[in-house]
Structure 1
Amino acid sequence: MNEPKRFSWAKFPESIGWRDHAVGAALFVAYVIWLLITARSLGFPRDESFYFHAGQSYARWFDQLVAHPKAAMERGAIDGAWGYNHEHPSLMKSLFGISWLVLHQKWKIIADASTAFRLPGMATGGLSLWVTYLFGARVYSRRAGLMAAVLLALMPHIFFHAHLACFDMPIAAMWILSVYVYYRSVQEKTLGWALAAGIVYGLTLETKHNAWILPAVFVPHTLVVYGRAFFGDKGEKREKLRLPMELISIAIVGPFVFYALWPWLWSDTANRIREYVEFHVHHEYYNIEYLGKNYFGPPSPPSYAPVMILATVPSITLLLFGLGAGERLAALWKRLREKLLGTSDEPDLLLLLAFAAPLAVFFLPKTPIFGGTKHWMPAYPLLAIFAGRGFDLVADALGRAVSALPGALAKRQRELTWALGALCIAAPLAITVHSHPFGLSAYVPLVGGTAGGADLGLNRQFWGFTTQSVAPYLQANAPRGASVFIHDTTGDAWARMLDEGRMRRDLRATWSPGDAMFSLVQHELHMNEVDHQIWVVYGSTAPAYVLTHDGVPIVSVYRRK
């Protein structure tokens, strides 16, 4: 943990500084550009269509706030604008809407409204890489931080969700940022960093309800770090005892930021907070397939999260994670046995808690699993940091082995480290590129890829986003004005596809196979009954077209004879 914090190929100072932020910014820009380039090929999930609508509503209120502030602050104006989709906090939907209003409507910089809506979510994908690099570089080494950021970017499910105007990538980014700023506040022990910890936690609360879990990370870590001050000998106590300002700020400033940024809460506050909490505590269940069984309620299988992580995160990333996390867990255990725990800022403990907390709830029998991997995505930046540490261990072992060799090969440590890094990212890169735009269908080669995941009975997709992928077939085969049963796709998502020319504008959506010339089926286990309905209505069991990914049916298109 005291390795030189410099790249072997560049002269960086020992301390983390502006050069490291330049590296983080470069990762941010490169990832956002990649997401922008690939965004148009990805259709619109159900949830996105709701958040597009909410973003427009909120943006118009901000527009009114600038033009007529007194009228905008009246309760009727606030409730009218912010009442839609008030089940979720407002931060990301506000950013979606402002991006749409400014970059698409007013300045016309971005041609597609959907891309303008999606840009803030993409930016959080870039932010997650930036902070992951900084955290890994500060705690372990710059090499570990860089590898961690790249491996995080090259997780197929991360790449899929990073495109969307949803909350799953944003909460992953805000989770790692909140943990990082808290850690810096513990290190620096200043009022400024403590206030920053509270503000960032408030923004995390305002992003998604996963933030409720973060105190389970901060409080145990604070107790360990400050424990020796309270329970050590008197001399040690006089030297170290101080109030945990960062925890106090998180408890006070955080909720204030949460309240201040969500106008829906400004009236009837207690009842609306109660409604928000109860919505998520008693969230309805949706269908999800797992190992060939359809789950539509508790109990949830405790193996779900481990199996899905094993099946969706590139195996080399998990192998490096195992090495890194195992080594740091052993070091933490050693510190505990030697009674040294709490004599430092304990980064290993913090990272392990921040990794475990988002996953722990999925071992509870009543936790809904319908969102799949997206619900524990806040754990993935931490997983990547430990993978970066694992790469450090392997690279150091390679360096020691090479240095013992005779001749010129012993002087090639830098080149061999680069080659090792390239080998470690090659497979995740190939898997991630190949997964698009069917990221939710993608499974790693360890389980047989997409086909293996289907054979195991793992979920193939949800949200109806794959409708856009059959646009070429409908373009070539549907008569003008043809009606299409769009199955699991929402009307707003369909309208967005038509508006942006992603689907032929003359095609008409219907909500029943009996009213349609063409009928789509997005393949999920619980959707099998839709096939049967179409067979009865159309008098045929043969689809006219089947969209596949690696031979696995994703969408079937039936045509009425």
Structure 2
Amino acid sequence: MSGSTIKFKATLSQRVALFFLSPLFPWLAALFAASLVITTIDVADDLHWSIQGPGLTFDEGFNIEVGVFLARSFQLAGTSSFHPETLQEIYSNPLYNPDHPPLGRIAIGATSEILNHFLPVETGQPYLVSYARVASAIEFGLLVLIVSLASRRWFGPVASCASTISLICMPRLFGHAHLASLEMCMCLTYTAFFLSLANRCKWDDRIGLRQMLIPGFFLGLALLTKIHAVLILPVVLVWFLWNWGLRSLIPFVFLCIVGGVVFFVGWPWLWSDPLNHLNEYFSRATERSSLNCFYFGTKFADTDVPWHYPFIMFLVTMPLGFLGAAVIGMTNRTDDENSKHALRDKRSQLIFGAWLLPLIVFALPKVTVYDGVRLFLISFPLFAIFVGLGAKRIVHRLQMKSGEFTIVALTALALAGPIYNMVTLHPCHLSYYNEAVAGLWKANDLGFETTYWGDSATPALLEAAAENIPEGAVLEVAPVLHPLQLEFMRRGSWLRNRPDIVLKAYDDSRRDLSPYVLVIRRKADPWKSLTPPPEGAERIAAVIKQGVVLAEVLKLPAKIADPQLAE
């Protein structure tokens, strides 16, 4: 009986191992990752197949409106979409904003339109935020797939499995996958470029033009997504010169030409006046209104943030077990005792540079930094490759010295923290901090920003608050970072279900303040009159994660606001 049980357990263990190490695992993991996000994105009780997700962030509306406009314009134009007169009409329309290239926004708009065509939801609004968010979920699944496949091809199934699981379990990355923003498309195209380049280049002394075609195409797609794509070029140039010397300059120039052609062809707005429009695009990217950043208890202007911000933020928002595995992956041999050090391998050098450079750039003086890790989120997916490489090395050592139980226990320990946080923080994954700072509650005490993008104004919060807000009342919102923020909330957040509620930007100098105030606890832009809540204020709803208030709806006392003025 005992022998039979042991045999059964061993067989079950082998079956589990075979599943995770099988060639199908990358595809199943990608499908799981996309599905997990899609079923947790609902922003306004729109979808019966998705539970409530994060609240509407401050600028999702910009991406959705431009994306939906482009998708509908090209759909209406049909076969004449690329006629010069048609393109001129589309891109000269006031509804089009060229502050970002079109690829990420078209993906958002097209996904929204396709889903609304096959699964229509009547809301009376021009778009459905929940549908637009599906684009990021699909991009997240594709990101998991390409990282998993590349890691498997280069370092084997164990490394691939670890890279895949770590990528899915990075809470900040997982959180961004829930939003109709450009970050996930940027992560996908940036990662696809470096993986394709590492895969195409020969590892001997030859490097040719033909090898630059596919990477050049992905370079163009990255450039068509966000200006962050320019970070690709210095990484590649240094890597080329280090490994192939001056003879790599011609392939580098050819790579840039291919990427530039894809960028130009893919953005018809540039066609009519290339030089002026390029100048306008780069001016918009560099000349923008300043945002505040809260770091170690101090509010900084975005150009005055201390140089160590990106490094510290990366260290405290990446799960601790993943950090440890990646350090081993970077500093040990790539495979067995006879192979070379990881960073002496050309492929690993490229991935290392692509991971590190965004952190370095955002540490430079006067470079704008804000919104947590959003600006250097592109470093996260490639870091997973080193997590997988380190995990493979650990498993190899443990197989020789310990046993299967130790491997399982260590894996469970490494994943326990991020999975626990992903569950308990849902849907506010952008508030995640790792074990090094004892999670969100201690990060709050240490002076880190706890919520920054409005995602903590969740559907559940707004729904609970609405039960206590009378018909026709005014709801003050604090902070308001852009004049259109309230309009986006009215159209796309759960408050769409209460059109009688009037939204206003909170300003304590106004004499007609409503007693009802939605306070998003963004530390970079607090109102002193609301922080802490004034004496006598009643909390009618709140989002509290790990003991930290991320957002709340207050009813102010009569001495501060006259309830009659809210009607």
1:253 aligns with 2:258: yes
Q: CA deviation at 1:291?
A: 0.2
Contact 1:482 1:517 in 2 (8 A): no
Structure 1 residue 426, shift from structure 2 partner: 2.6
Structure 1 counterpart of 2:489, which letter? W
Question: Would the alpha carbon gap of residues 329 and 375 (structure 1) be closer, same or farther in structure 2, given more than 3 Å must change?
Answer: farther
**Distance in 2 between residues matched to 1:268 and 1:456, nearest whole Å:** 50
Q: Which residue in the other structure is 1:408 paired with?
A: none
Aligned partner (choices 545, 548, 555) of residue 549 of structure 1: 545
Equivalent pair of 1:32/1:122 in contact (CA under 8 Å): yes
Question: Are residues 1:301 and 2:306 paired?
Answer: yes
Query: 2: distance between equivalents of 1:110 and 1:204?
Result: 32
Per the alignment, do residues 243 and 361 of structure 1 end up closer, same or farther by CA in structure 2, a change over 3 Å counting? closer
Q: Residue 27 of structure 1: which of 26, 29, 43 is its match?
A: 29
Q: Partner of 2:449: helix, strand, or coil?
A: coil
Show the counterpart of 1:520: 518
Q: How far apart are the structure 2 equivalents of 1:84 and 1:459?
A: 33
Q: Which moved more, 1:514-523 or 1:311-320?
A: 514-523
Residues 424 and 108 of structure 1, relative CA distance in 2, 3 Å threshold? same
Mapped partners of 1:70, 1:304: distance in 2: 44
Cα distance in 2 for partners of 1:556, 1:517 equals 13
1:422 lines up with 2:416 in the alignment: no
Change (3 A) 1:265 1:225: same
Hey, what does 1:120 align to over in structure 2? 135
Instruction: Determine the structure 1 residue equivalent to 2:331.
Output: 326
**Correspondences of 1:101-500 after superposition (within 5 Å):** 101-104=113-116, 106-108=117-119, 113-187=128-202, 193-227=211-245, 247-327=252-332, 346-402=346-402, 413=403, 417-468=407-458, 469-488=460-479, 490-497=485-492
Q: Give the whole-Å Cα distance in 2 for the aligned partners of 1:102 and 1:285.
A: 36
- Deviation (angstroms), 1:366: 1.0
Contact 2:193 2:218 in 1 (8 A): yes
In the alignment, is the contact (CA less than 8 A) between 2:428 and 2:455 conserved in 1?
Answer: no
Judge conservation of contact 2:305–2:369 (CA < 8 Å) in 1: yes
Gaps of 5+ in 1: 1-6, 14-18, 231-241, 403-412
Is the CA contact (8 Å cut-off) linking 1:471 and 1:502 kept in structure 2?
no
In the alignment, the residues of structure 2 paired with residue 470 and residue 250 of structure 1 have an alpha-carbon distance, to the nearest angstrom, of 49
Q: Distance in 2 between matches of 1:243 and 1:545?
A: 60
SS in 1 for 2:313: helix
For residues 276-296 of structure 1, the C-alpha deviation after alignment (integer angstroms, 9 at most, x for no partner) is: 112223444301100000011
Matches of 2:157 and 2:531 in 1, distance apart?
57
Partner of 2:99: 87
Residues 129-164 of structure 1 show CA distances to partners (whole Å, capped at 9, x for unaligned) of 112112222232221121112111111111110111
Give aligned-pair identity as a percent: 25
**Cα 1:132/1:535, change in 2 over 3 Å:** closer
CA offset at residue 540 of structure 1? Answer: 5.0
**Distance in 1, Cα, partners of 2:64 & 2:84:** 21
**Deviates further, 141-150 or 190-199:** 190-199
Q: Is the 8 A contact 2:102 2:224 kept in 1?
A: yes
Confirm or deny: 8 A CA contact 1:64 1:72 kept in the other structure. Answer: no
Equivalent residue for 1:234? none
Residue 498 of structure 2, aligned match among 504, 511, 519: 504
Given that 1:78 and 1:263 are in contact with CA atoms closer than 8 Å, whether structure 2 keeps it comes out as no
Query: Can you give the 5+ residue segments of structure 2 that lack an aligned partner in the other structure?
Result: 1-14, 43-52, 559-567
Decide whether aligned partners of structure 1 residues 91 and 168 sit closer, same or farther in structure 2, where only a CA change above 3 A counts: same
* Change over 3 Å in CA distance of 1:192–1:118 after alignment to 2: farther
Equivalent residues of 1:156, 1:435 under 8 A apart: no
Q: Distance in 2 between matches of 1:491 and 1:505?
A: 13
- Kindly tell me the number of residue pairs found equivalent between the two proteins: 515
Any idea what the Cα deviations from partners look like across 1:21-51, whole Å, max 9, x if unmatched?
x432212110111001111121111110111
Structure-2 change in CA distance of 1:248 and 1:467 (3 Å) = same
SS at match of 2:225: coil
Offset at residue 442 of structure 1 (A): 2.1
Instruction: Give the distance between the partners of 1:449 and 1:12, measured in 2 at CA.
Output: 29
Secondary structure, in 3 states, of the residue corresponding to 2:552?
Answer: strand
Question: Is the Cα–Cα contact under 8 Å of residues 194 and 245 in structure 1 kept in the other structure?
Answer: no
* Larger mean Cα displacement after TM superposition, 486-495 or 189-198: 189-198
Supply the distance in 2 between the matched residues of 1:244 and 1:418 (Cα, whole angstroms): 47
RMSD between superposed Cα atoms in Å:
3.3
Distance 2:20 2:447 in 1: 49
1:363 Cα deviation (Å)?
A: 1.8
Q: From the superposition, tell whether residues 375 and 330 of structure 1 become closer, same or farther in structure 2 (CA, over 3 Å).
A: farther
What's the offset of the Cα at 1:386? 0.9
Distance 2:282 2:409 in 1: 50
Counterpart CA distance in 1 for 2:417 and 2:532 is 40
> In 2, distance between residues paired with 1:485 and 1:307?
35
What CA deviation, in whole Å up to 9, does each residue of 1:222-270 have, x standing for no partner? 223323xx7xxxxxxxxxxx87786344211111111111122122111
Change (3 A) 1:32 1:109: farther
In the superposition, the TM-score normalised over structure 1's length comes to 0.83
How many Å apart are 1:517 and its aligned residue?
A: 4.0
Go from structure 1 to structure 2 and tell me whether the alpha carbon gap of 1:501 and 1:495 turns closer, same or farther (over 3 Å shift): closer
The whole-number CA distance in structure 2 between the counterparts of 1:503 and 1:432 is 28
Contact between 1:88 and 1:276, CA under 8 Å: does it hold in 2?
Answer: yes
Deviation at 1:9, TM superposition (A): 4.3
Q: Secondary structure at the match of 1:295?
A: strand
Distance 1:524 1:226 in 2: 48
- 2: distance between equivalents of 1:282 and 1:31? 37
**Contact 1:463/1:488 (8 A) holds in 2:** no
**Normalised TM-score (structure 2):** 0.82
On the 8 A contact 2:60/2:179 being kept in 1, the answer is yes
Larger deviation, residues 179-188 vs 465-474: 465-474
The secondary structure found in structure 2 opposite 1:555 is strand
Between the aligned partners of 1:207 and 1:380, the Cα distance in structure 2 is 17
Q: Distance in 1 between matches of 2:273 and 2:528?
A: 43
Corresponding position: 1:558 with 2:549? no
